[in-house]
Structure 1
Amino acid sequence: MKFLDLQKVNAVYATDLKRIAAEVIDSGWYLLGKYVKLFEEQLSFYLGCKYTVATGNGLDALRLILRAYIEMGVMQEGDEVIVPANTYIATILAITDNRLVPVFVEPDEQTLNLDFSLIENYVTNRTKAIMLVHLYGRCCWGEQVKVVARKYNLKIVEDNAQAMGAKSHICGLSGSYMTGALGDAAGNSFYPTKNLGALGDSGAVTTSDEELAMVVRALANYGSEKKYYNRYQGFNSRMDELQAAFLSLKLKYLDIENERRRVNAETYSILLQNAELILPQQAGEEHIWHQYIVRSSKRNQLQNWLQKQGVDTQIHYPLPPHLQECYPEYNHLSFPLTERLSQEILSLPISSYMGKEELTIIAEAINSFAE
């Protein structure tokens, strides 16, 4: 059983996707056209923010936000960004690519998201932002974050790569309850495996800050607001028309697909009975279950057992960013909880196309594991 079968993910849309592809091809316009504009408008409406700037991928979206803040004078090289220690490497790359300094903070062991109670301990006179990661699809938001951000005049940047469609029960800064519109700005990814996935790379910056949106848009287009006139030393990071058209179609069904994932997550939590496992918390609309994460001190043995039973699983993530070879300057740091989680976490197959029969087969294989 595949961990994720993208053919099945897109099969339900296949006829419309092929029709849309033909329309884009026949239009003769493949970048910065009507389909990108339409998707930007639709995503802003869906999230409840004022501006969306489509980008080439999710990493670029985060990079562009921080670079825009530097161009705007909000940040400068050497400033610090508070970030969870247990995130994916892309979150950290966005910070260091802009010659900013990541300040790692341990997660909450129950939610696996940033531990809000620790944030203020890491604020210095160089801190300029808190980067929240809605890890595995669970909303990372709370009043404590808003209070600390206001107290120290910090920007709140969301890494919303994994949680498109999740909702907070606490209102965001601009009045929205949706991840991607809670903080000052958000980087979003539409990599094919995401809940809202393109058929290639693409991403978006979402914000209600008009100046930030304008600077990001220029930076993503070679730093140009007017063709051949470059205000900034920018990038080339633009969503193409084909991906925008695909995403425009799939956005209409996102809430339905996310609800199917919630049902599947609840089913897992009922069926899984192995005492070796720590199961994830249910969190209602705050979780869209990009991944269903279980924990076990015998994770590697469990993964090998499931592989023998024909069940494919993955580890998100086996080595934290501060221990990666590309960051020798941080290898000496110690984050015990983050490091323990990296040895315990196992991602089970979960998607909108799966039914109870498949979940039962996986659960029975797990329940039969004994080491």
Structure 2
Amino acid sequence: MIPVNEPLLKGNEKKYLNECIDTGWISSEGAFIQRFEQGMANYTGRKYAVSVTNGTAALEMAIVALGIGLGDEVIMPSFTIISCGQAVVKAGATPVLIDSDYYNFNMQVEEIEAKITPKTKAIMVVHIYGLPVDMNPILQLAKKYDLKIIEDAAEMHGQTYNGKMCGSFGDISIFSFYPNKHITTGEGGMVLMDDEKLYEKCKSLRNLGFSADSHKRFIHEELGWNLRMTNLQAALGVAQLEKIDEFVEKKRWIGEMYQELLEDIEVINLPIKQKSFAENIYWVFAITLEDNYKKDARQMMQELGAKGIGTRPFFYPMHQQPIFNKMGLFIDEVYPNATKLYERGFYIPSGLALTEQQIREVSNIMHEVI
């Protein structure tokens, strides 16, 4: 089996983990926490960063930190992972959905303004699969209507928009460090911001609402979570961040190889190589099937799996999620591109550990199955 993803752990990961063990700093205290946070802040051009347990936790904390709650609306794409909608709903707010472009997978920016109401408090931007969302129009809308921007850059480690790092555009931005991301800590996430008050708020929320005043340590003015990343995870993150430029180069090499090897298959759409504002980073190599091709994504994935090729389906749209429909959300709402992307889309092996031989094997079997 060629897995859909396998992380690359060939830097200082063992060295830094051994340092944690040798010194006894294995919990959420320890030097690697600050090193990782400062490293990510510096890399993305942000003033502050707060590490957390995972990307979902980062989103949920971001929503609460911005004061978004009951009666508020957050505009977001239908085509994304459930973590995005879940974070809004758990805070008591209402997700307002936007369809996505079928070929670059990102939310249709031109549809956002029509969905803005007096209840709108934020736009959640989610960069999907490899290309960033076109940010300039969104930044203009946020300024015009006094809205917050929550930037989900979970899949965009090392990507830029007009030369500026993804993760630097939101009032609050988040990353995930799950093993399929360019930088992994096993499980982990981070929130980044430039506002000091928001930074202090997130630090408190991450740590059960503890006060920064040590004399009031066990006196709580608000409820938070225990979302603390461990020093062990941060040690992995520091080692991974040291290799980020190499990882980005490797991902683009994988993408370019697939583009060349698969371009003769007429019944599939390959990822867009670049937009005017960004070159594809190929977080995953995402494929959609042409309408006239008789098989759907599920059939293709099953046949590829039988021949030893790992795949993953595209996101199931927010407006079709059973749990949200049971809550009375998105009833009779239609977002055709989001629906079609799930039905016709899947991605093939593209992890950082992938070899040229494996890429060619995937290509051969793709041709055979199609």
Per the normalisation by structure 2, the TM-score is 0.91
Q: Deviations over 1:156-213 (max 9, x none)?
A: 111111111111116xxxxxx11111121112111122111113x2111011111111
1:130 maps onto 2:123 in alignment: yes
Query: Does residue 22 in structure 1 map to residue 21 in structure 2?
Result: no
Of 100, 107, 110 in structure 2, the residue corresponding to residue 107 of structure 1 is 100
Match of 2:146 in 1: 153
Residue 20 of structure 1 and its aligned partner are, at CA, apart by 1.9
Q: Size of the alignment, in residue pairs?
A: 354
Aligned residue number for residue 304 of structure 2: 306
Contact kept, 8 Å, 2:99 with 2:335, in 1: the verdict is yes
Q: What corresponds to 2:337 in structure 1?
A: 337
1:130-179 Cα shifts (integer Å, max 9, x gaps): 00101113212322111111110111111111111111116xxxxxx111
TM-aligned CA deviation for residue 28 of structure 1: 2.5
Deviations 1:59-95 (A, max 9, x none): 111111110111xxxx442200000000000111111
Question: Take 2:106 and 2:189, find their aligned partners in 1: how far apart are those partners?
Answer: 22
SS at match of 2:199: helix
Structure 2 match to 1:179: 166
Q: Structure 1 counterpart of 2:210, which letter? A: S
8 Å Cα contact 2:79-2:318 kept in structure 1:
yes
Q: Name the residue aligned to 1:230.
A: 220
Contact in 2 for aligned 1:82/1:102 (Cα 8 Å): yes
- Residue number in structure 1 paired with 2:349: 349
Q: Distance in 2 between matches of 1:351 and 1:310?
A: 15
Per the alignment, in what secondary structure is the counterpart of residue 53 of structure 1?
Answer: strand
Distance 1:355 1:25, change over 3 A: closer
State whether structure 2 residue 268 is matched by structure 1 residue 277: yes
Unpaired segments ≥5 residues, structure 1: 171-176
Tell me if 1:120 matches 2:113.
Answer: yes
What does 1:1-371 align with in structure 2 at a 5 Å threshold?
1-4=1-4, 6=6, 9-10=8-9, 12-13=10-11, 16-29=12-25, 30-70=27-67, 75-169=68-162, 177-199=164-186, 201-226=187-212, 227-272=217-262, 273-283=264-274, 286-296=279-289, 297=291, 298=295, 299-317=297-315, 319-327=316-324, 328=326, 329-330=328-329, 332=331, 333-370=333-370
Partner of 1:173: none
8 Å CA contact 1:158, 1:185 repeated in 2 = yes
Q: Distance in 2 between matches of 1:163 and 1:215?
A: 25
**Structure 1 residues 308 and 76: alpha-carbon distance in aligned structure 2, compared to 1, 3 A threshold:** closer
Q: 1:309-335 deviations in whole A, cap 9, x for unaligned?
A: 221211122x32222221122252221
C-alpha distance after superposition, 1:223-272 (max 9, x if no partner): 11232122321111011100011100110101111111111111111111
SS in 2 for 1:330: coil
Take 1:169 and 1:62, find their aligned partners in 2: how far apart are those partners? 25
Structure 1 residue 17, shift from structure 2 partner: 2.4
Gapped runs of 5+ residues in structure 2?
none
AA matched with 1:232: E
In structure 1, give the amino acid aligned to 2:344. E
Work out the percentage of aligned pairs sharing the same amino acid.
Answer: 29
Look up the equivalent residue of 1:210 and give its one-letter code: E
Contact 2:130/2:280 (8 A) holds in 1: yes
- For residues 149 and 278 of structure 1, the distance between their equivalents in structure 2, rounded to whole angstroms, comes to 33
Q: Deviations over 1:91-140 (max 9, x none)?
A: 11111111111001001222110111101010000001000101113212
RMSD of equivalent CA atoms: 1.7
Q: Residues of 2 paired with 1:162 and 1:289: CA distance?
A: 9
The amino acid of 1:330's aligned partner reads L
Task: Return the letter of the residue paired with 2:300.
Answer: L
8 Å contact from structure 1 (residues 80, 128) kept in 2: yes
For 2:169, the aligned partner's letter is L
Tell me the secondary structure at the aligned position of residue 18 of structure 1.
Answer: helix
Distance 1:5 1:92, change over 3 A: closer
